[in-house]
A and B are shown apart, each in its own frame.
Chain A
Amino acid sequence: MTAIGWLQIALFLAVVLAITKPLGAYMFRVFEGDRRPLPRFFGRAERALYRLCGVDAYKEQTWAVYAFSLLAFSCLGVLVTYAIQRLQQALPFNPQKLPAVEPALAFNTAVSFTTNTNWQSYVPETTVSYLTQMAGLAWHNFTSAAAGIAVALVIARGLTRNRGPSGGKTVGNFWVDLIRSTVYVLLPISFFYALFLVSQGALQNFAPYQEITTLEGVKQVIGMGPVASQEAIKMLGTNGGGFFNTNSAHPFENPTPLSNFVQMVSIFAIPSALTWTYGRMARDQRQGWAIWAAMAVLFFAGVTTLYWAEGHDSPAVRGLAQVQQGTGNLEGKETRFGLASSALFATVTTDASCGAVNAMHDSFTPLGGLVPLVNIQLGEVIFGGVGAGLYGMLVMVVLTVFIAGLMVGRTPEYLGKKIEAREMKLAMLYVLIFPLIVLGFSAWALAVAYGTSSLNNAGPHGLSEILYAFSSGAGNNGSAFAGLNANTRFYNLALGADMLMGRFLMIIPALAIAGSMVDKKVTPAGLGTFPTNGGLFVGLLVSVVLIVGALTFFPALSLGPIVEHFAAGAGRLF
Chain B
Amino acid sequence: MASRAKQLSLFEPSIVRPAILASFKKLAPQLVAKNPVMFVVEIGSLLTTAIWLRDVISPSPNAAPTWFTLSVSLWLWFTVLFANFAEAVAEGRGKAQADALRRMRQDTMARKVRYWPPREDVPGIANEDIIPATRLKKGDLVLVDAGQVIPGDGEVIEGVASVDESAITGESAPVIRESGGDRSAVTGGTKVLSDRIVIRITVDPGESFLDRMIGLVEGASRQKTPNEIALHILLVGLTVVFLFACVTLVPMGLYSGVHLGATAIVALLVCLIPTTIGGLLSAIGIAGMDRLLRKNVLATSGRAVEAAGDVDTLLLDKTGTITLGNRMATEIIPAPGVRMEDLADAAQLASLADETPEGRSIVVLLKERYQLRGRETKGIAHFIPFSAQTRMSGCDLGERSVRKGAVDAVGDHVKSVGGEMPPEIVQAAWKIGDGGGTPLAVSDGAKVLGLIHLKDVVKGGIAERFARFRAMGIRTVMITGDNPRTAAAIARESGVDDFLAEATPEAKMKLIKEEQGKGKLVAMTGDGTNDAPALAQADVGVAMNTGTQAAKEAGNMVDLDSDPTKLLEVVEVGKQLLMTRGTLTTFSIANDVAKYFAILPALFVGVFPELAPLNVMKLASPNSAILSAVVFNAIIIILLIPLALRGVRYRPLGAAALLRRSLLIYGVGGVIAPFIGIKIIDLGLAAIGLV
The interface of chain A, by Cβ under 8 A from chain B, is: 399, 402-412, 416, 419-421, 423-425, 428-429, 431-432, 435-436, 439-440, 442-444, 446-447, 452, 459-460, 462-463, 521-524, 526-531, 534, 536, 540, 543, 547, 551-556, 558-559, 562-563, 566-567, 569-570, 572
Contacts and interface: CB of A to CB of B under 8 A. Distances in A.
B519 A540 contact: no
Nearest to A405: B582
B486 interface: no
A49 B637 CA distance: 62
A293 B456 CA distance: 54
A158 B656 CA distance: 25
A553 B245 contact: yes
A358 B472 CA distance: 53
A447 B233 contact: no
Given A551-B596, A566-B611, A567-B610, A556 B233 contact: no
B252 A559 contact: yes
Contacts, number: 212
Contacts of B585: 403, 406
Nearest to A554: B596
A570 B608 CA distance: 11
Contacts of A522: 519
A402 B230 contact: yes
B245 A556 contact: yes
A407 B579 contact: yes
Q: Name, among B250, B309, B600, B610, the residue most crowded by chain A CB atoms within 10 Å (CB to CB).
A: B610
6 A-B pairs with the lowest CB-CB distances in the bound complex, closest first? A528-B473, A406-B582, A409-B575, A428-B237, A527-B473, A526-B473
B324 interface: no
Given A409-B578, A524-B519, A559-B252, A529 B473 contact: yes
Nearest to B235: A428
Contacts of B85: none
A389 B236 CA distance: 25
29 contacts: A403-B585, A403-B586, A404-B659, A405-B582, A406-B578, A407-B659, A408-B579, A408-B659, A409-B309, A409-B578, A409-B650, A410-B309, A429-B237, A431-B241, A435-B241, A439-B244, A443-B250, A526-B475, A528-B312, A551-B272, A551-B592, A552-B241, A556-B248, A556-B249, A558-B600, A558-B604, A563-B256, A566-B613, A572-B610
A528 B655 contact: yes
Nearest to B579: A409
Nearest to B470: A527
Contacts of A432: 237, 240-241
Nearest to A418: B310
Interface in B560-615: 574-576, 578-579, 581-583, 585-586, 589-590, 592-593, 596, 600, 604, 608, 610-614
Given A447-B251, A447-B255, A463-B252, A410 B310 contact: yes
A407 B582 contact: yes
A531 B253 CA distance: 43
Contacts of B473: 526-529
Interface stretch (B58-66, B130-138, B421-429, B662-670): B662-670
Contacts of B250: 443
Contacts of A436: 241, 244
B242 to A, nearest CB: 8
Nearest to A563: B608
B254 interface: yes
Interface string B477-516: 0000000000000000000000000000000000000000
Contacts of B251: 443-444, 446-447
Contacts of B589: 403, 547, 551
A169 B237 CA distance: 27
A566 B230 contact: no
Given A522-B519, A528-B474, A551-B596, A435 B309 contact: no
A463 B578 contact: no
B658 A443 contact: no
Nearest to B229: A421
